[in-house]
Amino acid sequence: MTPSTRLLTQRDLKQCVTMRLALSVVREAFKAHARGEVVMPPKVYLTLGRNSDFRAMPAFLKHPGTCGLKWVNVHPHNRRLGLPTVMAVLLINDPKTGFPLAVMDGLWLTKVRTAAAAAVAARALARPESRIVGLVGCGAQADAQLEALALSFRLRRVKVWGAAKGEAQRFCRRMRAHFPRIDFEPCNTIAACAGRVDILVTLTPSRKPLVRRVAPGTHINAIGADAPGKQELHPDLLKDAVVIVDEREQAIHGGELNVPVTRGQYDPRRIRGTIGEVLVGKRKGRMHPTQITLFDSTGIAIHDVALGHAAIGAAIRRRIGLTLRLF
């Protein structure tokens, strides 16, 4: 009998995938990447004009033996239509037969795996005693970033800056209910948010540098720059930092490094290595407490596929989702 394909909605996935699970899955996928146990072609961009595009992100992992494709779109004008500006669908296949095991929402998984990847990097690169976090940007990704970091560090204080008036205050009020032991501080300026923190997370779609300097010893998770032309950090800050990336080519062409590299303001040979290489001991990360470390996150397909594979297992065990016979 032909097997069935499982359909998992965003609501289904929220019952199947916790942030703790995502942290574990993402960490192992980083290590697999460093050991050469994955196949992950570069992102394919399908540009449609008006700042809209599709991105195809395929990947195969030898362990746990899974492959798939995330198809994600960015349509900024969707706000006027009452639709999300970013949407994604994830397809998971059996690598032995090619059979489609599941089709699922990719938007929520992207949010969770992005936060998990940043927290795994911070755990490897930030000072172990880190307690103070700065969030430059408090949009849709910020709460997941905070949750992942709170599971990885004993946070005491979170400083928040938002681009819109009152945005940081609203975010802080909302997060206090979820993290009552953390002191939340809305900031009026980026400089105030970025100064005197242990971990700085940049989460904006900016196309010009926002952060010019940080204190010695700060670890930076650069999350917002995920496509050519985007930039959140001043090039001089990159030169002062130990730069670690999730995937070298993506970082150079679409991550925080893309603009400085294009303009000759940063030599990509200065990249220390990937976070997977740091995790398996092939590269050194932080060497002393006063170093500035930087993780350039572009989002890699192996995380989507690995987490999607884990979601299928959880859904089967809990009998969640709709099953379909496509063929």
For residue 242, give the H/E element and its range: strand 241-245
Cα 148-222-111 angle, rounded to 5 deg: 45
CA distance 90 to 93: 10
Q: Which of 31, 70, 111, 230 is catalytic?
A: 70
Q: Kindly report the CATH number assigned to the domain that includes residue 148.
A: 3.40.50.720
187 and 277: one domain? yes
pLDDT digits (tens, 9 = 90+) for 43-96: 888 988 777 899 999 999 999 999 999 999 989 889 899 998 889 999 999 999
Q: Tell me how far CA of residue 171 lies from CA of 153, 160, 206, in angstroms.
A: 20, 8, 20
**DSSP tag of 2:** P
What's the number of CA atoms in the CB half-sphere (13 Å) around residue 31?
13
What CATH number did the domain enclosing 102 receive?
3.30.1780.10
Do 97 and 144 share a domain, yes or no? no
Other Cβ atoms within 10 Å of 29 Cβ, number: 31
The answer to whether residues 257 and 250 touch, using CB atoms and an 8 Å cutoff, is: no
198 shares a domain with 99: no
Same domain, 246 and 293: yes
Averaged pLDDT for residues 135-163: 97
> Which domain range does residue 66 map to?
5-109+302-324
Q: What is the pLDDT of residues 256-265, one digit of tens each?
A: 999 999 999 9
257 shares a domain with 151: yes
CB contact at 8 A, 271 and 243: yes
Instruction: Please check whether residues 42 and 156 belong to one and the same domain.
Output: no
How far, in Å, CA of 66 to CA of 93, rounded?
7
Residues 145 and 235 in one domain: yes
Amino acid letter, residue 285: G
Write the single-letter amino acid at 193.
Answer: C
When mean pLDDT is compared across 17-26, 40-49, 147-156, 285-294, the lowest value belongs to 40-49
Same domain, 221 and 81: no
Intra-chain end-to-end CA distance of the chain, in Å? 11
Q: For residue 60, give every residue at least 6 positions away whose Cβ sits within 8 Å of its Cβ, in sequence order, or none.
A: 38, 39, 40, 66, 67, 95, 305
Residue pLDDT, tens place only, 223-234: 999 888 999 999
Averaged pLDDT, 107-127 = 97
The band of 1, judged by pLDDT with boundaries at 50, 70 and 90, is low
Task: Clarify whether residues 269 and 315 are in a common domain.
Answer: no
118 touches 221 (CB < 8 A): yes
Residues 119 and 262 in one domain: yes
Q: Total structural domains in the chain? A: 2
The per-residue pLDDT for 50 is 72
- Does the annotation mark 70 as catalytic? yes
Tokens of 36: 């050469």
Q: Are residues 214 and 230 in the same domain?
A: yes
Instruction: Indicate whether 14 and 56 sit together in one domain.
Output: yes
